[in-house]
Amino acid sequence: MWRNTLVMAVRLMARNRLYTAVTIGGLALGLAGCLLILTYIRYEANYDAWLPDSDRIHQVQTTIHPPGQADVHTQASPFPLDDLLPGGFSQIEAVTSVASGKTVTEHDGQPMFLDATTVDGDFFRVFALPFVEGSAATALPDTNSVVLTESEAIRQFGTADVLGKLLSLGAGPGKRDYRVSGVLRDLPGNTSLRLGIMYRRDVDGIPAEMRGWGNYDQQHYVRLRDGAAAAAVNAGLPAWKKRMWPPEMLDGKLVSIADAFEFRLVPLRDVHLGQAQEAALTPAGDRRALATFAVVALLTLGMALMNFVNLSTARSTQRAREIALRKVLGATRGQLIVQLLGESLLMTAIAMLLALAMAELAMPWIGAWVGADLAMAYIGEGGMLLPAAILFALAALLGGLYPAFHVSRFRPATVLRANMSAAETPGSGRLRAGLVVLQFAIAIGLIVCTWVIYSQTRYVQTIDPGYRRDGLVQIDNAWRFTQGSEYQAAHAAMLAIPGVTGVGRTGLGLAAPETSTRLMRAAGAPRHVTMEFYSTDAEFLPTMDIELLAGRMLGDRHAADRIAGESEAELVARGINVVINRAAAAKLGHRTPRAAVGQVVEIAFGGWAMVPSRIVGVVEDTRFGTARDAIEPIVYAYDPEHTSQVLVRYAAARPSEIMEALDGVWRRFEPEIPFEARFADDIVAELYAADRARGALFATFSGLAVLIACLGLYSLASFTTQRRTKEIGIRKVLGARVRDIVRLLVWHFSKPVVIANLVAWPVAWWAMRDWLNGFDLRIGLGPGPFVLAGGLALAIAIATVAVHALRVARTNPIHALRYE
């Protein structure tokens, strides 16, 4: 029986090549798109799942409640947790502290940066990482040893067999040799850890003032005992925090600073897609984007299945006589259903094989596009064999069940008595029309979303950020350069470069991953607020070309302008001058920028000492981050000892020549540190790289969905025009012209597209309004994208149908009337 079913299915597919090609091709495209998106979603959702006992490892995350500002969710946590947490909770087996940064080595005669991670002695008790050389027991025995990853060992020594070898790290007085005590296997791409070269933390070398609760320069990870619940620890953290965190002296009173902070254990596997992404070791994922891609995958597969059902029911009307004869010869309805389901299974199997091949070919391209290490594995952890089998079963059943039951309902007496080779069961035409409407509603909705995402992405990259972006270079990792004794000479050398018009220093550059906030209070105000605090030099604001709205800039003409390493007590006694932006002036209660000039605001420094600070100038608001974030109130202080980036302004010069000349100056004054500089336009482009990649991926799969809809419409139009051949011949005999026939058929298939617009527009508007609300600056959601998508879908439908309409309309009426 099965052999006969297979033979019949193959013969039927060979006899109807167009139907077979369109059905299998559309289904293969839908399955391939679904597999690709499913692979990406599983990759993102399974961050750190590969780690042994990953369910027992948690990160300590902090929620900060700054007065007058939105809550800040960060992955960083205070320094004392490393020592205090284990004794506070019996559920905790081990705690480790991880601090990321950079170090310097010399490679082939040139300095180069290395990602450096400082850990404590319990790191390998928390993370059971695989070793290529050495072991967790012997790794990092002291502060003179380092652990490398396999790729870093090969890059530095040409081999992974490097145990006991020496590696020179650091610059200046801190440069020394370290012994390699272990080599880690390279971590998978989907990990929230970033490990390049690992040191052991030297606690004795950390100044006492850096060991307090205000030090948030590290992340803490906790390994729970087997069977222990993180919920129990989280429930006890508020009371434990208040006991452990001593009160601070603020305005002459003891204040519980701990009330502004909350700690929580978050499962390691939830870190990548979690809410807290400030101070993350690796770029964050986007849970909403993954949900969107999942919806797109389901819609794409759904459209392919709709094609399957539509074409199967349309084709079944041509098999009326065959089905009737089979029933007359004794075939039961169950046997017919089995045969028709067998045909569905065969076509779905072929489509799945094609889909797997297409997915494998596209996987590296998609992975490079979204920055993910995607690979198609069939077995093992993350294998796609089971998901592919489930998709195959769903596609075969959902696409084949209705056509099978639909075709098997034909009544032999009715069909044979009328001598019909074609028949239509009641309701099947309305079903096909409904599915076409739904297909094009999905396609139109995806086109609208793609256009809005594209327009918003372009808009946020071109808006005025409050400073002049063109002709600006940022030199990163210049912490030693900006504070060195030779900076003034280097500054003069950079200004001497033809085309350079300004050079300034700052502690927080463009797109800085971290922020620096300070507690502040306007004179006489009852409550404190928090604002961002930028340490700069006197030339930073002019170099950035930030507009002065009122007052003056900071400079060396006024002694109170500059912070020159005084103690907190000295600063409190003499006070300082500051410049603020428009948003800060408004937050301090001043109606205009001019009204803020001359006013005094108290600013908390390291030991919570409130320093009286006179506002001497107000500048325009700037957007140093992304357009998703609101404009922040900022206070600028002339504090060159806490700067680490250099900004260079140039004009009327070739960018490449400017960069080459800056490199030359850098090498002359800082030969031990690599030169890392980027144009401001490139920095901003990197800020939105993930959004652009996701938008392009969304557009790709939207185009795939539109293609599937067109394939279905093309084939459906072919069958419909074929069934109406005799009708068209009669119309031509009665005087209908070619254009009348074409108009008739085109309108027949255009009506579902018009109706689809009415379905798609409200849904797309709601979805895009919700997405745009995630941006502080956003485009208006006008009628343009909706009209464009509707017109494009209608044009595609007309072009798809017009080919068949013209061919049938030009057919000789004699041949049409002799049809069948």
The span from the CA of 636 to the CA of 509, in Å, is 13
Residue-wise pLDDT for 165-179, tens only, equals 999 998 888 889 999
The structural domains of the chain, with segments of one domain joined by +, span 2-44+289-459+689-817, 54-270, 472-687
In this model, does residue 413 exceed pLDDT 60? no
- The answer to whether 562 and 638 have CB atoms below 8 angstroms apart is yes
Quick check: helix, strand or coil at residue 297? Answer: helix
For residue 697, the Cα-to-chain-centroid distance in whole angstroms is: 11
Tokens of 401: 């069940």
- The answer to whether 385 and 359 have CB atoms below 8 angstroms apart is no
The span from the CA of 774 to the CA of 629, in Å, is 9
**pLDDT band for position 7 (cuts 50, 70, 90):** low
Quick check: helix, strand or coil at residue 678? Answer: strand
Closest CA to 291 of 264, 273, 270: 273
Residue-wise pLDDT for 518-551, tens only, equals 888 887 787 888 899 999 999 999 999 999 999 9
**pLDDT band for position 12 (cuts 50, 70, 90):** low
What average pLDDT does range 256-274 have in this prediction?
90
Computed over its alpha carbons, how large is the radius of gyration of the chain? 34
In this model, does residue 107 exceed pLDDT 50? yes
Please name the residue ranges forming H helices in 617-724.
655-669, 680-687, 689-723
The span from the CA of 481 to the CA of 676, in Å, is 12
Highest mean pLDDT among 56-65, 246-255, 450-459 belongs to: 56-65
Measured between alpha carbons, how far is residue 222 from residues 74, 131, 229, 432, 566 in Å? 16, 21, 12, 57, 39
Q: Give the pLDDT score at 427.
A: 43
Q: Find the Cα–Cα–Cα–Cα dihedral 289, 292, 294, 296, rounded to 10°.
A: -130
Sequence-ordered list of residues with C-beta below 8 angstroms from that of 290, at least 6 positions apart, any chain: 41, 44, 45, 273
Q: Give the pLDDT score at 598.
A: 93
In this model, does residue 744 exceed pLDDT 90? no
Q: Which residue has the tokens 């993930």?
A: 690
The span from the CA of 555 to the CA of 562, in Å, is 7
What average pLDDT does range 434-459 have in this prediction?
86
In this model, does residue 563 exceed pLDDT 50? yes
Tokens of 802: 């017009």
Quick check: helix, strand or coil at residue 508? Answer: coil
**Would you say how long the chain is, in residues?**
820
**pLDDT band for position 410 (cuts 50, 70, 90):** low
Residue type at 399? Answer: G
Report the percent of the chain where pLDDT is more than 90: 37
